Structure 1
C-alpha cells in the first residue's frame, strides 16, 4: 500500500475532506437542531458522524483498493431540518436513526429490499428531495431580509467565487460567515472562551426512544433519501470511473457505521456522491489503481475535523441562526436544482412528481407523520393511477 501513496492523492484527499466537511456541516447542525438536539448533542452528533465516516472510508478503501468516499447524509440532514421537532424530542429522533441504520444494513445484505429501493421511480425520489431542500434554499434570501450587512456578504462571496470555481463557492461563503461573525455580530462576553473550551472532543450518549411517529416521519424517509440520493449515486460514480464494487457489502458497512454513530446523535453515514468524483477521478492520480489513497487521506481528514466539531459548533452558536441557515441553503442550491430538473424532466411522470414535491415542500404533517412520507405515497398513487388508465385505454 505504501508504494501506491502519492503526493497527488494526498492533496486531493485533504481537499476532499475540507470541501466535504465545510460545505455541508451547517446543514447537519441545522437538521439535528430542528429535531430537538441541544448544542452539545448536535456537536456530539457532528463528531460521531465525521469520525464514523472517516474510519469507514479508511476501512473500505484499504480493503477494496478502490477510492470509496464516505459522507454523512446531507439530503437526510435537510430532511430533518424541513420536518421540524417530533413528539418525544431528540431521543425519538435517535431511535429513528437506529432504525434507518438497520434498514441500510438489511438493504445491503438482503437483495430484494435493495432492489425495492432502487425500484422507487427516480422522478418521485428526486421530487421528494427537491421538496425537502427548497425550504433551506430560501434561507439566504431570508438572511438578507433579516440584516443586509449580515446576509449580503455571505451570498456575494458564494456568487463571486462560484463564478470562477464552483468547488470553492461554499467554503468562500463559510469564510464570509466567519468574517461577518468577527466584525459585525456582537459576541457575548465569554463567547470565545466557550469555543476554546470546546476544543477537546466530547460525545454524549442519547438514550434512544422508539415510536411509530419516529419510524414513519424520520426513519423511512431518511432511509429512502439516503439510499436514493447518496448510496446508489455513489455506486454510479465509482462505475463511471471504471471501478466495479459490490454494492451490497458497501451499503451494509455504511449502515453498520451509521449504527455506531446513531446513539451519539449521528443521523446517517453513506457513500459519497459529489466528493466521490474527486477521489475517483484523474485529479487524484493518473493510475486508477492508486487513487484509493485519496479516499484514505480524506477519511483521516474527516476524523481530525470530527474531533474539532465541538469548537466548530460553539463558534457557529455565536451567530444568529439565520446566518448558518443561509450557508446551509447555499450549500444545497446545486442539489436542489439537480433534483428538481430530474424530477420534472419526463412529461409522463411530471404530474406525479409535482404532487410529491408540493406535499413535501408544504412541510405539513398529517397524523404526526411528515410531509415527505405522504408526498412520496401520494405521488406513487398518482403514478400508479396514470399507468392503470393507460393500460385500460390500450
Structure 2
C-alpha cells in the first residue's frame, strides 16, 4: 500500500495546514523587506513587484521538486537578511541592471558551492563572527525605524508596534505577521482617508525583464556580501535545522536547485532563493506530523501555498508602495529585530573574535560608501584586518556543513 493511500483525510489536512502555516509565516514576516530591498537598489515599483512574484513562483516549484524527489521536508525561502542587505546598500554604479547582474552572479556562486568542493571548503573558512557582525551592522539602521516611526508618526506607527507587542505575549510566532497585517490595514485606511487609490492595472502579477549588466562596484557591494549572507545566514542554518530533526540535507542538489532558481529569476528581480532557516522547523518538526517519514508532505503543501501567494503578490506590493512614508519601514524593522538579536549573539559569542566582530559591526552600521562600494564589503575587510592585527587564531565556527 502506498504512503498516499495510508494517509487518512485528517492527516492530509493536518500536513496541508502545517505547510500553509510555514508558507504564511515565511512570506508574511518578510515580504515587505524584499520589496524595500529591491526598491533600494534601483527597482521601480513594477520591477520590485515582479521580483516578489518570481521569487514566490521559484520557491514553490523548487520545494515541490525537492520534496517529491527526496521525501524529506526541505523548505525554501528568499534571503531575508539578503533583502535587508540590499535595503541598506542602496543603488550601485550601473543601477538596477547592475544589481540584476549581481543576483545572477550570486546564483552562479551558489550552484558552484554545491558542485565544486574547493569552493565549499572556502565557504567553510568564512568566520561566523564576522559574517554575523556584518549582518547585524546592516540591520541596525533598519531596526531603528520603528523607534523613529513612533516618535515621528505615533498615530500611524503606534498601532503596528502595539499589535506586535501584544502578539509577542499571546502568540509569538504570529507577532511579525500580525504587525505587517496591521500595517497593511493602516495603509489602506490612509489611502481611503486621503482619497487616493491603487491602480487596478497593477494588481495582477506581471514579470518584468531587465537585461543584466555588471559593474565591479555591484560585485563588491551586492554580489559578494549577498552570497556570504545567504550562505551563512540561510543555507547553513537551514541545513542545521533539518539535521536537528534527523534529516540529512542533499547539499549538492539543494544548492544547484536554489542557485539555478536564482539565476533564472534574477532578470525578473529574484535576488536569492535558498534554504529556509527560521520557518524550516514548522514543516520538519513533530507539530507537522508525528511520523518523520511523512513530514515531507508539509513541505510540498508549503510549495503549493507559495504558488497561491504568488498570485496575491502584486496586489500586496501595490498597497505597500502607496503606504504613507515611514509605515512600511517601521513594520520591516520589527520583522528584523529577532534576526538582529541572533546576529549580535553570533557575532559576540566567541570572546577571541569580539574586537574584530565589533569593528565589522561598526563599519557595516556606518553605511559608508567608498569608491562606489557599500559598507558591507568594507566591514568584512575591516574585520579581517582587525583580526590580523590582534594576532588571534583564524579558526572559528564553520559556516558550511561538513
Q: 1:187 to 1:259 in 2, by over 3 A?
A: farther
The two structures have a TM-score, normalised by structure 1, of 0.95
Task: Describe the SS at the equivalent of 1:368.
Answer: coil
Select 2:113's aligned residue among 107, 113, 124. Answer: 107
Aligned to 2:245: 241
The CA RMSD over aligned residues, in Å, is 1.6
Q: 1:255 to 1:272 in 2, by over 3 A?
A: same
Select 1:74's aligned residue among 80, 83, 93. Answer: 80
Aligned residues: 388
Distance 1:199 1:303 in 2: 16
Q: Does the aligned pair in 1 maintain the 2:62–2:258 contact within 8 Å? A: yes
1:226 aligned onto 2:230: yes
Select 1:340's aligned residue among 325, 338, 344. Answer: 344
Select 1:364's aligned residue among 359, 362, 368. Answer: 368
Select 2:354's aligned residue among 350, 356, 373. Answer: 350
Q: Does the aligned pair in 2 maintain the 1:8–1:283 contact within 8 Å? A: no
Structure 2 unaligned blocks of 5 or more: 395-402
Q: How does 1:1-394 map to 2 (within 5 A)?
A: 2-3=4-5, 6-185=12-191, 189=195, 191-192=197-198, 194=199, 196-387=200-391
Q: 1:365 to 1:62 in 2, by over 3 A?
A: same
What is the deviation of 1:246? 2.5
Shifted more, 38-47 versus 373-382: the winner is 373-382
Q: Does the aligned pair in 1 maintain the 2:30–2:80 contact within 8 Å? A: yes
Distance 2:80 2:155 in 1: 28
What is the deviation of 1:176? 1.5
The two structures have a TM-score, normalised by structure 2, of 0.93
Distance 2:193 2:275 in 1: 38
What is the deviation of 1:288? 0.3
What is the deviation of 1:332? 0.6
Distance 1:188 1:255 in 2: 43
Task: Describe the SS at the equivalent of 2:391.
Answer: helix
Structure 1 unaligned blocks of 5 or more: none
Q: Does the aligned pair in 1 maintain the 2:241–2:281 contact within 8 Å? A: yes
- What do residues 82-127 of structure 1 show as CA deviations (whole Å, max 9, x unaligned)? 0111122111100110011101111111111112112211111110
Q: Does the aligned pair in 1 maintain the 2:93–2:215 contact within 8 Å? A: no
- What do residues 36-69 of structure 1 show as CA deviations (whole Å, max 9, x unaligned)? 1110000000001111011111111110100000
Q: 1:284 to 1:135 in 2, by over 3 A?
A: same
- What do residues 163-220 of structure 1 show as CA deviations (whole Å, max 9, x unaligned)? 222111011112211232233455655614x1x4333221100111111111111000
